[in-house]
Amino acid sequence: MKSIIQCCLLAGCICLAVLCGTATYELTSSDHPHKWEKLYLVLEWPVTICKMSENDCRDPLMYWTIHGLWPDKADECNRTWHFNISEIKDILGDMEHYWPDVLHPNRTKFWKHEWEKHGTCAAVLESLNSQKKYFSKALELYKEIDLNSYLVKLRIKPGGTYQMADIREALTSVYQVTPKIQCLPPDEGQLQVIGQIKFCLTKEFALINCTESKSGSSFAHENNLFKTEDLAKCSDTLTDYPSHMRTWEHFLANTVDIQ
């Protein structure tokens, strides 16, 4: 009997070792389909998003909002880990203000999409391994980057036209890294329109320069909920930063005073 028990214990240890080895491989192997190296904090300009949509946005927000926090090279890593709004009930106020669905009244659908497509992949990090952690970290990064306030300081205002090279250089001077700026390509006789700004971060949430991946597909996992696949890297030409009727005062109301 003793020898049988010892054999069972030995077999159990071998199985555990194999399972642990498999788990380690899944997290560390460069061939694993869900492995990723960096994050994109994606901010969008609601006026442009509305311009791109068939949805008639009559009152688009006049401040930059969060589109998402996206790992590169990852997409829907755990389809059984469904979104549960009760897990973020403590931050709903910030979510509704800084991370709204600019096109649809059902914001829960947008957050569900972001969690199930991107959050389940980001969750490989302990600091992002729950819905509360994932959404809270995106909000924290948004406030730290404080794009609305810095654009005010840089005198880059909605309703104006700017050389894209000047916008890029101004942002680089503030953040000490170069973000990826995306525009709606121009129709004939019109200007390109600024639409999204992507800040690249390490797994430790340090800002880094945004560069193309070796495969040239660093933004292969665009979010098609807002049809932003129509956006492209901005050309170094004159660029429209569109406004709408409820203009500058509302933009200023959503900035933070920087001393």
d(CA 113, CA 95): 14
CA atoms within 13 A on the CB side of 162: 20
Q: Which residues contact 82 (CB under 8 A, 6 or more apart)?
A: 112, 116
Annotated catalytic residue, options 67, 113, 221, 244: 67
Query: Has 188 been annotated as catalytic?
Result: no
Selecting among 44, 113, 114, 244, the annotated active-site residue is 114
What pairing do the DSSP bridges indicate for beta strands 232-233 and 207-208?
unpaired
At 170, phi and psi to the nearest 5? Answer: -65, -45
Contact in structure between 100 and 107 (CB atoms under 8 Å): yes
Question: Which one is catalytic: 113, 118, 221, 244?
Answer: 118
CA proximity to 107, closest of 76, 148, 65, 136:
65
Please name the residues in contact with 6: beta carbons below 8 A apart, sequence gap of 6 or more: none
Assign 200 to helix, strand or coil: strand
250 catalytically annotated: no
Active site residues: 67, 114, 118
